[in-house]
Structures are given as C-alpha cells and as structure tokens.
Amino acid sequence: MIDHSHLCFDSDIGSQKPESIINTSTKCPFCDHNDLEEIIEQRGKMILVKNKYPVLKDAFQTVLIETDECYSELSTYSKKHLYALIRFGVEKWLEMKSSGDYQSAIFYKNHGPLSGGTIRHPHMQIVGLKYIDIQKNLKGDFFEGFTINKMPGIELNISTKPKVGFFEFNVVMDSLAHIDRMADYIQIMAHYALNHFHRRCSSYNLFFYQLENKIITKIMPRFVTSPIFIGYSIPHVSSRTHDVVKEVQSLYF
C-alpha cells in the first residue's frame, strides 16, 4: 500500500525556480504579463495562472497573482482591492474543493524570507492534492483562543493551542456573508505582524481552512522555528498572549 501521508517535492523543478525574495536582482516572473503561461482567469489586476514550477507531485498547482505592483503588500491594499482579492481566492479555492478531482484543496500565502516563499511579488497559491486529505490533520482547538474582536458570525482570536506557536491569529467565519470582514481582520493582523510586533517580524503566512461548516483563516507571523517543535512536535504558547490581545485591541479597535 502506498503511504500518502507525505507530499513529494520535485527537487529538480525546485532548483529552476527564481528566488526574488533572497536575490532581488532576479527577474520577477509575475511582472511581465506577456510572459505568463496558462492563464486560468483574470479579474482586473489579479490573475490566476497554472504554476510554472509544479514542485509538488500528485498535485495541481495554481498561483493567484494579487496585483501588478511588485513591491506592494496585502496590509497596504485599498479596501476595494482587498475585498476583491479575498473573494476571488476563496471562490476559486472552494471551487477546487468541490470539484471532486482532489482529496483536498489548500489555499495559502507566503510573505517574507521566513515564510517558505521564493518570489517577492505578492501572490497566493491554490493547490489540489490528489491523495492527501488534510482534514485528517485538523483539530478544532487549533482555532480556539482569546477573543480580540467579535461581530455576529465572525471572530478574530489568538490561539491558546497553536499548531506551531508562539502567536497564531485566527479568523473564524460562519458564512460567506462575512467575507469582507474576514478580509479586514486578515489585513489588520498582517499589518500588526509587520509593523508592531515586539520582535522584528518580516514574514507571515496565511492559511485557509474549512471545518465544521466554518471558513477559517490562520495568520501566522513567522520567526525561526523552535528546535523543540522541529524535533519533538511540541508547540509553544507565549506568556505574552494577553498582552498581545490588549495591544491589537488598542491599535485597531
């Protein structure tokens, strides 16, 4: 029996990818739209394309190019563009999930040198996994936490049982009716991570989930990962969690 608990990364394809985060002189593959191959859909400045470097085997990889401005960033987008982007991405992710072609579909964003990304130009990724069911690894308590802000049908919190640690922020939404508010919360926490964190933070990830009829986004500021987590899979919770709740509330709400 084949074990489908791990994704296979094609290192030969990976070695061909440009790395404009580390090497800023590298030509950005997303800036020249004439060079883009296999465009799936375009909405204004946003373009969904098939990934030119499909490093994951048994997967269908797409890239959502967020804007034509290479050095912009999600925390600075206008509300109009922010809402359109999150709506576009969630729509295409849910379409892939419901297609029946994949065991799972994942939707995520890398930003910064510690995020696992290689290309500076703002983009997200939507990936269909043929054999791996990510739902098996999800637990409801990953997304529970102390409330930062709450409105009917949607909540922003900080994890009390994070997947990795130390600080993970969750937006938990009951229905798509609240998607613009979800976008607001995502932008706020991206801005907080890059501008107000008590430790210098240059990187973050966004991860989208669907669990128990809820749509959830996890905003994870990225630092060097703890060796205790790497070696023993023991997540960390910070003693400053309550301080961060108060700080975010005072800055943004």
Among 135, 155, 190, identify where a domain stops: 135
Helix (H) or strand (E) holding 64: strand 59-65
Residue 221 has pLDDT above 50, yes or no: yes
- pLDDT, tens digit (0-9, with 9 covering 90-100), for 41-99: 999 999 999 998 888 999 999 999 999 999 999 999 999 999 999 999 999 999 999 99
Domain of residue 105, CATH code: 3.30.428.10
Q: Are residues 131 and 142 in the same domain?
A: no
Judge if the upstream peptide bond of residue 208 is cis by omega within 30 degrees of 0. Answer: no
Does the residue 5 lie in any domain? no
Does the residue 1 lie in any domain? no
Among 92, 118, 135, identify where a domain stops: 135
Kind of pairing between the strands at 214-221 and 204-211? antiparallel
CB proximity list for 243: less than 8 A, separation 6 or greater? none
Residue 238 has pLDDT above 50, yes or no: yes
Among 135, 169, 186, identify where a domain stops: 135
Instruction: Between 37 and 179, name the one with better pLDDT.
Output: 179
Q: Are residues 119 and 231 in the same domain?
A: no
Q: Are 89 and 126 in contact (CB under 8 A)?
A: yes
Average pLDDT score over the chain: 91
Look at residues 128, 140, 218, 217 and name the one whose alpha carbon lies nearest to residue 176: 217
The confidence score (pLDDT) of residue 3 equals 62
The confidence score (pLDDT) of residue 21 equals 56
Q: Are residues 104 and 193 in the same domain?
A: no
- Band of pLDDT at residue 191, cut at 50, 70 and 90: very high
- pLDDT, tens digit (0-9, with 9 covering 90-100), for 93-127: 999 999 999 999 999 999 998 898 888 899 999 99
Does the residue 213 lie in any domain? yes
Q: Are residues 172 and 107 in the same domain?
A: no
Residues 164-172, mean pLDDT to the nearest whole number:
93
Q: Are residues 178 and 229 in the same domain?
A: yes
Does the residue 79 lie in any domain? yes
Number of structural domains (the chain) is 2
Q: Are 60 and 127 in contact (CB under 8 A)?
A: yes
Residue 16 has pLDDT above 90, yes or no: no
The confidence score (pLDDT) of residue 12 equals 75
The confidence score (pLDDT) of residue 70 equals 92
The confidence score (pLDDT) of residue 45 equals 93
The confidence score (pLDDT) of residue 244 equals 95
Does the residue 2 lie in any domain? no
Instruction: Between 6 and 225, name the one with better pLDDT.
Output: 225
Residue 188 has pLDDT above 80, yes or no: yes
- Segments forming the whole domain that contains residue 238: 138-252
CA distances from 190 to 43, 64, 124 (A): 23, 18, 14
Q: Are residues 145 and 244 in the same domain?
A: yes
Q: Are 186 and 96 in contact (CB under 8 A)?
A: no
Does the residue 4 lie in any domain? no
- Band of pLDDT at residue 13, cut at 50, 70 and 90: confident
Helix (H) or strand (E) holding 176: none
Instruction: Give pTM, 2 decimals.
Output: 0.93
- Band of pLDDT at residue 1, cut at 50, 70 and 90: very low
- Band of pLDDT at residue 20, cut at 50, 70 and 90: low
